[in-house]
């Protein structure tokens, strides 16, 4: 399948594979919290203010993963080989099972797919192109959306049936047509997905299986919906506490599961999952235009290839060619531990979405805090369009709009600016991220936005990121802002973040650390910044 901007497709998920750990979908922040400086290394102006401006430089595009198709196929094949069942494993199931793909568009380590194969003679893989994924966001009406799955299924003796419509209409009808005794799917946690599960289940209860359909696994008269957990590194049932009693402080959660829980091994699959049912028309993967969207061309920065194969190749490229080489040549340290640290953050927000339900989408958040937020359209649009007058904010927002990606640190900074300095309703920012992010996930996105806005499960309500300090620490020579805002490249490095009249007038003053003059700004100490803006806060939207 192709790459779409967000939606429940989750096709830009990276998966962590080692011999002893379970993969989980995540977008790895491979910039190591430093605005991808290694990708944006460009010639910079000298410190002399009297030199003429340099001509604009040609935009550079970086593919992720940086591999050719043949290399991606080769790596994918090698990884699959490591996770095949031995030929001794026999298939004992009867009849037909349906595997309903939702946010788990992968073949490897897919327990629902394995269960469907093991409990049947024939597996029917189905993906529903749900029109609700291509609508608008809930409160402010932003666009929701931007595959390889079929290819990987075909390599294992199956195919992918693509149907257009709502799952609650499609799945029961297919179960009746093929006499499927069980429908397997991945369990979700947020209300939109949970409501679909309820409606699919109700539809299945109205289906009567023919008397010829009889299996040891299912003696019921109607098809059964089996929802399996498979979206986190740590399984819900392996936690040392009930999911409703998860600590409200991440550190307590992390330390508890690291000491008391284990990561399960990968679910192995047979090399052949066939045969597929006899279907004349398996349906076409819709084009971007057919979905009512437009294919935005990325003309600079990072361009991402979607799909399971690309994800596996990125894992190989990142872990084995970069991190493991670093550990081998130097030593495993805190920097390499951050990968696991971020994976656990992703798990945490998934479990938090179960504990607090829809409150993660509400204005007051899980803490039900009453705050006065502005919905000033002009202010919000200046943030959205990268026209705030603060280069660090504007560069990040332009990267997001262009590529669908923003670094972990950038996401923290633009959130802090929107809610602290501009006083804008945090939900507007969260919904804009939902529109733009390739790695959008509702639990992580809204968990982090409530966290950053001070209405989530964060003991520090006054979290603030000082732009002067963040610029000084993470982009000291202004290379990042000059890349995304070429008009700043002609300026001396020490002027790029606060260029005075050479750039847009700041749309609002900074709440902390503002000098009050247009010509420049110094990163003076701030009580809040010293407490909450330090580099150890690596916890915003993974």
Buried-state track 203-225, b at ≥16 Cβ within 10 A, e below 16: bbeebebeeebebebbeeebbbb
Alpha carbons within 13 angstroms on the beta-carbon side of residue 417 total 32
349 is in an annotated binding site: yes
**What does the block give as tokens for 519?**
């010509």
345 is in an annotated binding site: yes
Phi, psi of 227, rounded to the nearest 5 degrees = -105, 125
CA distances from 427 to 278, 332, 413 (A): 47, 39, 16
d(CA 162, CA 154): 14
**Containing H/E element for 313?**
helix 308-315
244 is in an annotated binding site: no
Angle between helices 377-384 and 426-436 (to 10 degrees): 40
CB atoms within 10 A of CB 104: 26
344 is in an annotated binding site: yes
Q: Which own/partner contact pairs does 237-242 have at CB distance under 8 Å and 24+ positions apart?
A: 238/262, 238/264, 239/351
413 is in an annotated binding site: no
**What does the block give as tokens for 367?**
């803490």
**What does the block give as tokens for 101?**
């793909």
326 is in an annotated binding site: yes
CA distances from 296 to 208, 211, 232, 293 (A): 46, 52, 31, 9
441 is in an annotated binding site: yes
Phi, psi of 190, rounded to the nearest 5 degrees = -95, 160
Q: How many H helices and E strands in the chain?
A: 17, 9
343 is in an annotated binding site: yes
Peptide bond into 65 cis (omega under 30): yes
342 is in an annotated binding site: yes
Contact of 461 with 21, CB cutoff 8 Å: no
The three-state (H, E, C) secondary structure of 335-359, written as one string: HHHHHHHHHHHHHHHHHHHHHHHHH
Any bridge partners for residue 98, and if so which?
124, 183
439 is in an annotated binding site: yes
Binding residues for FAD: 326, 342-349, 439-441
Binding residues: 326, 342-349, 439-441
């Amino acid at each position: 399948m192709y790459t779409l901007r967000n939606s429940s497709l989750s096709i830009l998920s990276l998966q962590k594979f080692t011999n002893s750990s379970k993969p989980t979908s995540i977008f790895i922040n491979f910039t190591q919290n430093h605005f991808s400086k290694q990708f944006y290394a460009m010639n910079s102006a000298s410190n002399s203010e009297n030199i003429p401006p340099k001509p604009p430089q040609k935009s550079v595009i970086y593919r992720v993963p940086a591999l050719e198709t043949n290399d991606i196929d080769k790596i994918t094949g090698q990884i699959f080989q490591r996770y095949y069942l031995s030929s001794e494993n026999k298939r004992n199931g009867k009849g037909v099972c349906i595997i309903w793909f939702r946010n788990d568009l992968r073949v490897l380590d897919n327990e629902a797919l394995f269960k469907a194969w093991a409990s049947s003679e024939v597996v029917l893989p189905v993906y529903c192109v749900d029109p609700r994924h291509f609508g608008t966001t809930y409160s402010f009406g932003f666009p929701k959306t931007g595959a390889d799955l079929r290819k990987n299924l075909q390599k294992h003796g199956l195919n992918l049936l693509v149907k257009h419509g709502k799952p609650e209409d499609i799945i029961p009808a297919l179960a009746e047509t093929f006499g499927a005794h069980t429908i397997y799917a991945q369990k979700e946690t947020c209300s939109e997905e949970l409501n679909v599960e309820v409606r699919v289940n109700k539809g299945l209860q109205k289906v009567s299986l023919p008397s010829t359909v009889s299996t040891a696994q299912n003696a019921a008269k109607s098809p059964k919906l089996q929802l399996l957990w498979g979206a986190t590194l740590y399984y819900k049932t392996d936690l040392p506490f009930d999911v409703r009693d998860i600590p409200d402080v991440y550190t307590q959660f992390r330390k508890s599961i690291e000491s008391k829980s284990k990561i399960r091994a990968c679910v192995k699959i047979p090399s052949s999952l066939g045969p597929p049912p006899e279907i004349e028309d398996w349906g076409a993967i819709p084009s971007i235009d057919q979905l009512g969207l437009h294919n935005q061309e990325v003309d600079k920065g990072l361009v991402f290839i979607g799909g399971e194969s690309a994800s596996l190749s990125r894992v190989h490229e990142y872990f084995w060619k970069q991190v493991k080489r670093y550990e081998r040549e130097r030593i495993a340290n805190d920097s390499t531990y951050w990968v696991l640290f971020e994976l656990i953050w992703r798990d945490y927000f998934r479990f938090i979405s179960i504990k607090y339900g829809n409150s993660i989408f509400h204005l007051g958040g899980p803490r039900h805090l009453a705050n006065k937020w502005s919905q000033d359209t002009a202010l919000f649009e200046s943030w959205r369009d990268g026209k705030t007058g603060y280069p660090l904010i504007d560069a990040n927002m332009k990267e997001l709009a262009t590529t669908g990606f923003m670094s972990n640190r950038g996401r923290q900074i633009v959130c802090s600016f929107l809610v602290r300095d501009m006083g804008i309703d945090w939900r507007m920012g969260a919904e804009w991220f939902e529109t733009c992010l390739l790695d959008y996930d509702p639990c992580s996105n809204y968990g982090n936005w409530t966290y950053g806005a001070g209405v989530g499960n964060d003991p520090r309500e006054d979290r603030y990121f000082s732009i002067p300090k963040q610029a000084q620490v993470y982009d000291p020579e202004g290379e990042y802002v000059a890349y995304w805002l070429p008009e700043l490249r002609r300026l001396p490095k020490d002027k790029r973040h606060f260029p005075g009249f050479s750039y847009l007038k700041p749309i609002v003053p900074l709440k902390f650390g503002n000098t009050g003059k247009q010509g420049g700004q110094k990163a003076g100490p701030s009580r809040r910044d010293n407490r909450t803006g330090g580099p150890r806060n690596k916890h915003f939207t993974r």
